[in-house]
Structure 1
């Protein structure tokens, strides 16, 4: 069970360090991350999950937070509010420290091939299974929103 706490421990340690170093902006981002995890813990308590959400869920939360900020930063840039865009990007930087390295397009394509081969998927009906394999191996390393259509293309070819 020790490794389940890994992500939370890393975030908690970073939070303590940011407090010590008086890094106000970093601290506020880490607090937001913690709050998002706690919200998910509370939500999952209803489903009887013990000890809160695990690493995979934490990664999913972080991925979502980074994506929201990327969208905000883009909107701010288009609106000429570069100061606000900068702030969003700084938050993304903090969030991404806890995310595994993002796979390149080439690596994503290879992962999709691997997942298709692994379950012998040969039609669009297998899409859910392929996505399941990818999610179990690459959570936090790829954007499943854009991977879905890629898998669909491969299976309908």
Structure 2
């Protein structure tokens, strides 16, 4: 059962978190191009935002199966798992509290152009933090401090 839970957890991470990281990273430069009156970029922005929103919801499966896997393996209270949980919550907070709302604000395009351009920079920074948090979680999942795999 552990192998099935772990496989579902890893597949969910690849299928759900990967697209959010990529689409969220593409959004700020596309928004800058759209603000420079590039009609192609303007038409891509809603698609990128929809990818982020949809896969953010699907991404809830990652920590759900992660917790189930850790519990079934008896490692739920190990330090690397607890740190991963905290970092996952932080990533979810950045996505839900900063990235998605700023994408929505840019899609609505309310405000002076210079404010919107500055907003793309802040969005890019928040997206970078989101991606970095997930990268650290991925490394923790592979390295697992104190594991018996010898890594």
Q: Do the structures match in fold with TM over 0.5?
A: no
Q: Which has the higher helix share?
A: 2
TM-score (norm 2): 0.34
TM-score (norm 1): 0.33
Structure with the bigger RCO (C-alpha within 8 Å, sep 6+) is 2
